[in-house]
Amino acid sequence: MVLVAITVGLFGAVGAVIFRLLIRVVQALFFEGTEGLAQLMEEGLLAEASDPLAAARALPWYWRLAIPTIGGLLVGPLIWFCAREAKGHGVPEVMAAVALRGGVIRPRVVAVKALASAISIGSGGSVGREGPIVQIGSALGSTLGQMLKVPAAQLRVIVGCGAAAGIAATFNAPIAGALFAAEVVVSNFAVAQLSPIVISSVVATVVSRFALGNHPAFQVPPYELVSPFELGPYMAVGLVAGLVALAFIRSLTLSERLFEKIAVPEYLKAGIGGLIVGGIGIWLPNIFGVGYSTIAMALTPSLPIVTLGVLLLAKLVATSITIGSGGSGGVFAPSLFLGAMTGGFLGSFIHQWFPEATASSGAYALVAMGAVVAAATHAPMSAILIIFELTQTINIIPPLMAACVTSTLVSTFLSRESIYTAKLLRRGIDLYEEKTHHVLKDLFAHDIIDRDPGTLPAAANIATVLEAMLEGERSEYFVLNDDARLLGTIHLRDLTRSIAERDVLMGVVVAGDLARTDGPTVTEDDDLDVVLKMFSRGLAEELPVVDRADPKRLVGSVHKSAVIQAYNQEVLRRDLAGQVSSNVLVASRGQQVDLGGGFVLQEIQPPPRFFGKTIRELAIGQHYGAQVVLLRKRVADGGAPAIRVPTADDLIDEGDRLVVAGTKSAVESLDVI
């Protein structure tokens, strides 16, 4: 894994450098023509890609309108016909791949995402380069992991290595890159997962610094906390930043829904979005591209208050339209832009009101940049470190921390979804549920019940009890009275003393006297999470299963070993879903995928009698000998089908598809029902 992490870090850095080169070439071609390309060759291909602001201002109005439109018309077909997962800002697709597909990302995403995002950004689309490079780095890592045929658990970590490498190389921020990958992409800070991610981040940073130089993304004047009382205004800015981030999330969702309703081919919608963005850019070319030069002006500060407010609204609309229409690019740089405008706007008033006790508006712009990012992504630690490493300004850390925490609290209080998970939720993918849902809550006692438990009559003498215990394979026997009602449980360990005294106890003690009457019981409808907690209360290896309506009627038993085996099988099933997801495309075309050992994978259309029933009610495994590995849910509004690992409570609706695994005969019999 160390060697793989180093390799992924190297690939991620090279990918980031090439991606920035593509943006620089496309930008020069669109806004400066052949003269711009010639100048680029003189300056060097690795020169920093500046915003197209100065060049856009020098162009006639119709070119400002036409360039983003042309870019959208190129990006739309490229994504639609080559790799549709390259649409949008990239990070949600990586999160879904890690959570649902075991880290499997198609290799073609690397080329399509790089080219599509470079065109979007270079032609003036209001998006950033950070989300694309996360997806590019993750796809590179996933491709390497698939070539090495690593298990799904390791593949997820390698994908995280690629994401960390992309962030680190793009921002020149090794700490933030590693933390972002662990906090947002992998959602795991365990040493085994974090160590390779850190290695990849460090390697990518060293390589990118060698190629691009070691300098902060923004040159900011020295800032400091003027007064301890200034933390109050910074927290107030954080509160507003949380609301701005929430508005950003909602506007993105609204834009996507609106463009879905436009009755034109999908691959033309990005062109419509480019036309609208170009219309905004006629008067406000600051919204073109990543917007770093405008952010720098807000940090200086050198923008009027009115301009800051207008640019805040214009960037919010332009980014939502670019991404909602089908453009390709990240939301990180736009979040920084929105934060800079928000902080600069509020900071101007705060500094006017309290000039002696507060810093200039540039300090508030810097703090609000991190606050909007933290609130939008729900990742405050990553936001704090990214702003620190972007600016290399340590004195701003205390107010930055206060503002980021405040904005995140506001955002999470008002909405559970981040800017990344909101997009997935619209597709029916709830990552929050996937992360918090315990495996054993989807399994129940009736799934593993032993219908023939060991029982003893209450009147059985000590010799009969000892004989049953010593000659049988059970360590627990359930004692029943004459009416077959459960009295209690006899444990083998409780009979140790009775063995030596069996002759004395022969005519005195019976099974009813030895039974423990205070032991736990479970019902068939209890999930295995509850059952396991019952086992943890004592040393029992077997628990009685009783009727829910009649707690004294014994219907069977569950064994601790069976619970553990069921847990292992469910984890294996979920890992299988991740490992074979690369074969789902083949299976979805009606073709069987050979899993080895006589087992196959195939996607089927459920019969009408399955509709309206849950997977638990259908008991497909029990009746047909096959397991439902993945569920492809039909999306009512015409969006892409949502694929996820099903739970026992998932309903089968008309239009759904089931990816099932089992023996060849079982799957074929299920497919022809």
Q: What is the pLDDT of residues 322-361, one digit of tens each?
A: 999 999 988 989 999 999 999 999 999 998 898 888 888 8
- Residues 504-561: tens digit of each pLDDT: 566 667 777 778 888 888 888 888 888 888 887 777 788 889 888 788 888 899 988 8
Mean pLDDT, rounded, for 36-46? 68
Inform me whether the pLDDT recorded for 375 exceeds 70.
Answer: yes
Place of tokens 């060849």: 664
Instruction: Give the pair of three-digit tokens for residue 526.
Output: 């209890």
- Residue 247: both structure tokens together: 């508005």
Lowest average pLDDT, out of 50-54, 162-166, 233-237, 238-242, goes to 50-54
The answer to whether 653 and 634 are in contact (CB under 8 A) is yes
Per-residue pLDDT at 589 exceeds 60: no
Q: What percent of the chain has pLDDT over 70?
A: 86
Q: Would you state the pLDDT for residue 32?
A: 81
* More confident position, 228 or 635: 228
Q: HSE on the CB side for 506, CA within 13 Å?
A: 6
Which range among 245-259, 414-428, 561-575, 587-601 has the greatest average pLDDT?
245-259
pLDDT at 636: 56
| SS3 category, 266 | helix
Candidate from 14-18, 99-103, 660-664 with smallest mean pLDDT = 99-103
Closest among 232, 197, 480, 507 to 353, alpha carbons compared: 232
Q: What is the mean pLDDT of the chain?
A: 83
Cα distances from 208 to residues 36, 213, 514, in angstroms, run 24, 7, 74
Nearest to 103 by CA among 65, 148, 58: 148
Residue 583's pLDDT is 53
**Band of pLDDT at residue 315, cut at 50, 70 and 90:** very high
Mean pLDDT is lowest, of 152-166, 329-343, 579-593, 628-642, for 579-593
Q: According to the model, what pLDDT value does residue 100 have? A: 65
Closest-CA residue to 163 (of 179, 152, 150): 179
Q: How many alpha carbons fall within 13 Å on the CB side of residue 145?
A: 32
pLDDT score, position 269: 93
> In whole angstroms, what is the distance from residue 544 CA to residue 577 CA?
33
Paired strand residues for 662 = 600, 626
Q: Which two tokens stand for residue 576?
A: 């299988």
- Residue-wise pLDDT tens digits, 113-158: 999 999 999 899 999 888 899 989 999 998 898 888 887 778 888 9
Tell me: the pLDDT tens digits for 466-497? 777 777 777 788 888 888 888 888 887 767 66
**Three-state secondary structure call for residue 670:** helix
Say whether 135 sits in a helix, a strand or coil: helix
The pLDDT assigned to 582 comes to: 47
Q: What is the pLDDT of residue 618?
A: 82
Assigned token pair, 76: 């739309």
Instruction: Give the separation between CA 286 and CA 292, rounded to whole angstroms.
Output: 9
Mean pLDDT of 386-406: 86
Position 436 pLDDT exceeds 50:
no
Q: In this structure, what is the dihedral angle of CA atoms 499, 502, 503, 505, given to the nearest 10 degrees?
A: 150
Q: pLDDT band for position 435 (50/70/90)? A: low
Instruction: State how far the Cα of 622 lies from the Cα of 178, in Å rounded to an integer.
Output: 45
Rg (alpha carbons) of the chain, rounded to whole number: 31
433 Cβ neighbours under 8 A, 6+ residues apart? none
Q: Is the pLDDT of residue 590 over 60?
A: no
Pseudo-torsion of CA 4, 208, 22, 323, nearest 10°?
80
**Most confident by average pLDDT, 36-40, 161-165, 616-620:** 161-165
Q: CA–CA separation, 330 vs 89, rounded Å?
A: 4
Q: Which domains, from first to last, does the chain contain?
A: 2-212 (1.10.3080.10), 228-430 (1.10.3080.10), 445-560 (3.10.580.10), 580-671 (3.30.70.1450)
- CA 428/CA 430 separation, integer angstroms: 6
pLDDT of 579: 53
The pLDDT tens digits for 178-236 are 888 888 887 766 656 788 999 999 999 999 888 887 777 677 777 777 888 888 899 99
